[in-house]
Structure 1
Amino acid sequence: MSLLIAPLFILSIIGLSCCIERFMFWSNIKKSHGKLLTLLYEGNFAIELLDLRKSWKNVPLYLLASELSSMHNVKRSIKGGYLDILLEEVILPMQKNNDLLLLVTNLGPSLGLLGTIVGLMRSFSGFSLVSEFAKSEVVTSGISDALVTTVYGLCISIVGSICLSFFRRWMLEEVFILEKYVSDFSAFVGCEALAQ
């Protein structure tokens, strides 16, 4: 068995832990999202009317709403830039561990290929040391051991790529919801200011 199985195993553990953490993060957001949106819109965007739950502390929509609720006194000229910065800050937790998962996804096939090359080199170096009858057995067993690392590395890459595509899609959906909420909030505050 190749020496690179151990790094591939560590890489797969890191990738798996990133995927589990992200799936838990997104399931928490999706679980609380509908009720939170309803409460925010029914309460006319007032965060004070919400009953604070532990599960909402890290939800981007809750963070955005709590920041926006303190923004009534901000001057109109500053609001546009402030909203952009606020959106970027709220989006940041959604990208956590994505870079690490991307690194794992890219490193998997490379380490697998390296393991294959090392295994083939070992196999062919032992080729000259055995008798004529055992040569084919040495080469075939060496090649099968060497290809295990490639398969392992490709599996890491495939699982990581699938997870990353889900996470990116969910992030785009969340950003769309946040931007809609910001525009609705701005319209509401604008109407409220005109009424006064």
Structure 2
Amino acid sequence: MTFQELIEKGGPVMWPLLALSLLSLGTILERLWFWARILTKEREIIDRILEAASRNWDVAAEIAGQARRQPIGRFLYAPLRLANPDPEVFKLALESSADEELASMRQGDKLLEAVIALAPLLGLLGTVLGLIRSLSGIRLGDLGTSSTAGVTLGISESLISTAAGLVVAITSLVFYRLFQAFLFNQIKIFRKAGNDLELLYRQEWPKFGINRHSNAIKPKIDSSEPSDR
């Protein structure tokens, strides 16, 4: 059976199923490319930034700035770009950046969820319509005669749409679960990297205080002499 014959025998619902399959395929390919770029460089970026932070925070900020094309780079750069933040502000910047980056990693999830829900229903609808079409021409007196021989073939063809809907939904579900596993792993990686960077900062904070950057605010010294009483 050719692709064209499959579409014709599956009925009119095969066209929306085809549209859903193309949307799902495009989303899957885009997400695979997205995760491939992240997972291949992430560990190296984290190690470089943490190693630099243990020696020089300005160098760590520069390395994180150069890695802003990666989510982990933008995540770690968010607190490092601040001028002399308080440890609590440093932590807040990490948390805010993590929420933003993890939200961007969920792109495409809603589309895959819609395909997973709609594809089987459309397939079932096509089967019901096919059964109605096949059984509508049967009369009670034709049962058991040769005139009903084509009904079996019509019923088998009406099941094509259900099979197509299940294939689209199952394929989308497999990749959806894979992307969810990647996301959960990213949550652990972000939490670990953020905690390590925050711990280093809290350890160094008492040493350099507000004098880390050249634009740090210095306290004013009142040189006026006390008045004589």
Assess if the C-alpha contact under 8 Å between 1:91 and 1:175 holds in 2: yes
What's the TM-score once normalised by structure 2's chain length? 0.77
Q: Which residue of 1 aligns with 2:148?
A: 135
What's the TM-score once normalised by structure 1's chain length? 0.89
Give 1:81 shift: 4.0
Q: Which residue of 1 aligns with 2:31?
A: 22
Greater displacement, 31-40 / 161-170? 31-40
Give 1:63 shift: 1.0
Give 1:193 shift: 0.7
SS of corresponding position for 1:127: coil
Aligned equivalents of 2:141, 2:169: Cα separation in 1: 37
Assess if the C-alpha contact under 8 Å between 1:113 and 1:149 holds in 2: yes
Assess if the C-alpha contact under 8 Å between 2:121 and 2:165 holds in 1: yes
Closer, same or farther in 2 for the Cα pair 1:36/1:194, shift >3 Å?
same
**Counterpart mapping for 1:78-89 below 5 A:** 78-89=89-100
Q: Which residue of 1 aligns with 2:78?
A: 67
Instruction: Determine what percentage of the aligned residue pairs are the same residue.
Output: 27
1:125 aligns with 2:136: yes
1:34 aligns with 2:33: no
In structure 1, runs of 5+ residues without a counterpart are none
Q: Which residue of 1 aligns with 2:165?
A: 153
In structure 2, runs of 5+ residues without a counterpart are 1-8, 209-229
Closer, same or farther in 2 for the Cα pair 1:175/1:128, shift >3 Å?
same
Letter in 2 for 1:15: S
Greater displacement, 80-89 / 6-15? 80-89
Closer, same or farther in 2 for the Cα pair 1:111/1:192, shift >3 Å?
same
Structure 2 residue corresponding to 1:179, chosen from 164, 180, 191: 191
Closer, same or farther in 2 for the Cα pair 1:40/1:130, shift >3 Å?
farther
Greater displacement, 65-74 / 104-113? 65-74
Greater displacement, 34-43 / 6-15? 34-43
Give 1:29 shift: 0.5
Give 1:190 shift: 0.6
Q: Which residue of 1 aligns with 2:107?
A: 96
Higher Rg of the two aligned structures: 2
User: Deviations along 1:45-96, whole A, 9 cap, x unmatched?
Assistant: 613036836xx61x21011022121235333444444433221111111000
Aligned equivalents of 2:24, 2:185: Cα separation in 1: 23
SS of corresponding position for 1:95: coil
Give 1:123 shift: 0.4
- Give the structure with the higher percent helix: 1
Q: Which residue of 2 aligns with 1:12?
A: 21
Give 1:129 shift: 11
Closer, same or farther in 2 for the Cα pair 1:130/1:92, shift >3 Å?
farther
Closer, same or farther in 2 for the Cα pair 1:172/1:72, shift >3 Å?
farther
Aligned equivalents of 1:145, 1:186: Cα separation in 2: 62
Greater displacement, 61-70 / 112-121? 61-70
